[in-house]
Structure 1
Amino acid sequence: MREIAEQLGITKAALYYHFESKDAIVTSLFDGLLRALDELLDAAAGQPPSAQRSSDLLGGWLALTAGQALPVIRFAAANQTVLRTALSTGREGATQRFERATQLMLRPDASLSDRLRVRTALLAGHVTVLAARGTDAEDADILTSALSAAASLTAGLFPAPMLPDVTGHT
């Protein structure tokens, strides 16, 4: 908890005021990420199936997992024991969202090979964060590499994923 407080620039007492343990911090961080993934999946489910929907969903997923949630993923990678404890609480978790994303991106009759390619592309953000450990890669490098890996994996299935335009500009 001391290290976390130092990284946040607050006192340990202030951190304990809001969170009773590292587990509580991780749970809170991942709950936020899971809510954001739910919103992304719900938005995709509200659109008719198309190659563009698949591309947009993958781009949004990577923007969350290798972009916005990069500090959460880094924290989890550095605290594996705490992460396992936090994720073993029995709540519906990332696995269900992962499966739902795959189903939204592919036709029901998609081949096993295509399903595995999409699943691997969904993991590109996490894997790139782990691969970047011990390098001088900056956040933008990690996100760019994750997008490139995902595009390679899904080539021929749908257009290359791009980051969502959060500014409202086209």
Structure 2
Amino acid sequence: MDEEHAPDTRSRILEVAADLFLRQGYIETSLSQIARRLGLTKAAVLYHFPAKDTILTELAEPMLAELEGVLDAAEEMEPESARWAVVEGILDASFGHLRVLAIANAAWVARDPVYRRVVAINNRASRIIAGPGAGLRERVRASATLALLARPALFHQEDPPQDVRREALDAAARLLCDIGDSAVPSPVLPHSRTDRRRVMTADRMAAARRLQAAGTHTVADIARMVGVSRATAYRYLTSDPAEPRRSST
């Protein structure tokens, strides 16, 4: 088998194309440039990929398949579990496919079929995050949450991924604070001396324990998100969940 048709030529084309797309942009990269970088003829590249957009389609396939898998699994869950399965799944997929996101961020020019799949994924994810019977408020917050998931992973590659993930989930929790029966309550804005912290209600306690179980927030973070003092949050989070407690201000 000659070099042009060797089994690994296809993967080499993908690797070189991805590098050129990142370095100089998708639009500015031609099939001839890809071929020259590989020491092949343009015809050899066309043998494997009949058009440039088919290269982008194949580069994007693993990410798109992972995202669709997240949505397939979420659609079998209860609404609240599904919502956070989508939020965390999309965020983790974003960290796992930064190269493709960087290429796509420059220009989504391969409208068929990659762009249509991206739109379909976003529409399905937005519906799951918004929840059944969602109104305008829920739908807008769901779409805003989707918008913030990939960009932190892409734009903060110099920072520790686990820290970026924690902050992105914190931002998502704030956007979704009024969606769902057990969503995280709205955070309290800086208050004056005359303001009183809210009591640790059952809903806030449940939200605080979910955040604690996730292991992504400090007690101070949790206190801020549920709107109680750090001392109150610490007292409840270190108590026996089965032990009843009086409300505290």
Tell me, yes or no, whether TM beats 0.5.
yes
Give SS of 1:93's match. Answer: helix
Q: Which has the higher contact order (CA 8 A, sep 6+)?
A: 1
Q: CA RMSD in A?
A: 3.5
| Aligned equivalents of 2:164, 2:99: Cα separation in 1 | 12
Q: 2:118 aligns with which of 94, 97, 113?
A: 94
TM-score, length-normalised on structure 1?
0.67
| Structure 2, gaps ≥5 residues long | 1-15, 23-35, 185-209, 216-249
Letter in 2 for 1:72: V
- TM-score, with normalisation over the residues of structure 2? 0.49
2:69 paired with 1:29:
no
Q: Which residue of 1 aligns with 2:87?
A: 58
Work out which of the residue numbers 16, 19, 22 in structure 2 matches 1:4: 19
CA distance in 1, matches of 2:17, 2:71: 36
Residue 99 (structure 2) aligns with: 71
Q: Which of the numbers 38, 59, 66 marks the counterpart of 1:13?
A: 38
- Give the one of 63, 76, 79 matched to 1:46: 76
| Distance in 1 separating the partners of 2:74 and 2:18 | 38
C-alpha separation in 1, matches of 2:60 and 2:66: 10
Among 155, 161, 164, the alignment partner of 2:177 is 155
* Contact 2:98/2:153, CA 8 A, preserved across alignment: yes
Alpha-carbon distance, 1:51 to partner = 1.3
CA–CA separation in structure 2 for the residues paired with 1:71 and 1:2: 12
Aligned pair in 2 of structure 1 residues 26, 138: CA closer, same or farther (>3 Å)? Answer: farther
Gaps spanning 5+ residues in structure 1: where?
A: 164-170
How many residue pairs match? The answer is: 150
